[in-house]
Amino acid sequence: NAGVTQTPKFRVLKTGQSMTLLCAQDMNHEYMYWYRQDPGMGLRLIHYSVGEGTTAKGEVPDGYNVSRLKKQNFLLGLESAAPSQTSVYFCASSSDSPYQPQHFGDGTRLSIL
Amino acid sequence: RKEVEQDPGPFNVPEGATVAFNCTYSNSASQSFFWYRQDCRKEPKLLMSVYSSGNEDGRFTAQLNRASQYISLLIRDSKLSDSATYLCVVNTFSGGYNKLIFGAGTRLAVHP
């Protein structure tokens, strides 16, 4: 049972470089989310999607872009990485019911030098 | 004020102890509530949902007080394997969308 899969697991970038994080889910969920988690803080929502072809801003969207071209995939892009974006990134998905919990991928650890 | 606030911890308890975590939330329109567990450097995993009538799952009991906007988690007979960070999570359906708001977490360390 794959669930939610994130790639890559680890990455080190230099300031100004760009990259894309991929999230894939096989549960046919409508909703998908990208979070970042920093020491001593709760997970913060970057962007989310309520269905294929739709995206919306979360709590901390600046410096990130997303796309949901296929229902099962949600991509997070960093156009010009900054040290402040060093974090652990989690993708999650859920059905469209507000009572259902979210299922998380195992995270991407990203360091920006 | 944070939307979801938790006891900061850490809680250091011996095996077999009973420990309780508290959480308050600010949005009275919140519709569902969860406790997640997160091990060091791992993803959050659902521990249990929290229902209005209170619910129990083995050694874990969750309570919800909508009037006070308060959620609790009680762990009885603590095990070494219970050591983790416990996240209080509130699901708010607003603007037509389903959003989870996470507390910063309470760290639990169970020692022999």
**B39-67: per-residue pLDDT in tens?**
988 999 999 999 888 899 999 999 999 99
Mean pLDDT of A48-77: 94
- Smallest CA–CA distance, residue A94 to chain B, in Å, is 9
Identify the pLDDT of residue B96.
Answer: 67
Tell me which residues of chain A, numbers 40 to 59, contact chain B at a CB-CB cutoff of 8 Å.
40-45, 48, 50, 56, 58
Helix, coil or strand: residue A84: helix
Per-residue tokens: B102: 């996470």
Identify the pLDDT of residue B51.
Answer: 86
Per cent of chain B over pLDDT 90 is 72
Average pLDDT, chain A: 93
Greater model confidence, A76 or B98: A76
Cβ of B105 within 8 Å of Cβ of A98? The answer is no
Q: How do residues B1-22 score in pLDDT, each as one tens digit?
A: 678 999 878 999 999 999 999 9
Q: Is some CB atom of chain A closer than 8 A to the CB atom of B111?
A: no
In angstroms, the Cα distances linking B112 to B15, B21, B109 are 6, 20, 10
Q: Is some CB atom of chain B closer than 8 A to the CB atom of A87?
A: no
Identify the pLDDT of residue B53.
Answer: 85
Q: Which of A70, A28, A33 is nearest to A50 (CA)?
A: A33
Residue B95 pLDDT > 70: no
Residue A111 pLDDT > 90: yes
Q: Which helix (H) or strand (E) holds B68?
A: none
Identify the pLDDT of residue B54.
Answer: 87
Residue B34 pLDDT > 70: yes
Cβ of B100 within 8 Å of Cβ of A102? The answer is yes
Average pLDDT, chain B: 91
Distance separating alpha carbons of residues A35 and A79, to the nearest angstrom:
17
Greater model confidence, B93 or A10: A10
Spatial neighbors of A80 by CB under 8 A, at least 6 apart, are A16, A17, A18, A63
Q: Which of A18-22, B6-10, B57-61, B96-100 has the lowest mean pLDDT?
A: B96-100
Distance separating alpha carbons of residues A14 and B41, to the nearest angstrom:
23
Region of B72 please: left (phi>0), alpha (psi -120 to 50) or beta: beta
Q: Is some CB atom of chain A closer than 8 A to the CB atom of B19?
A: no
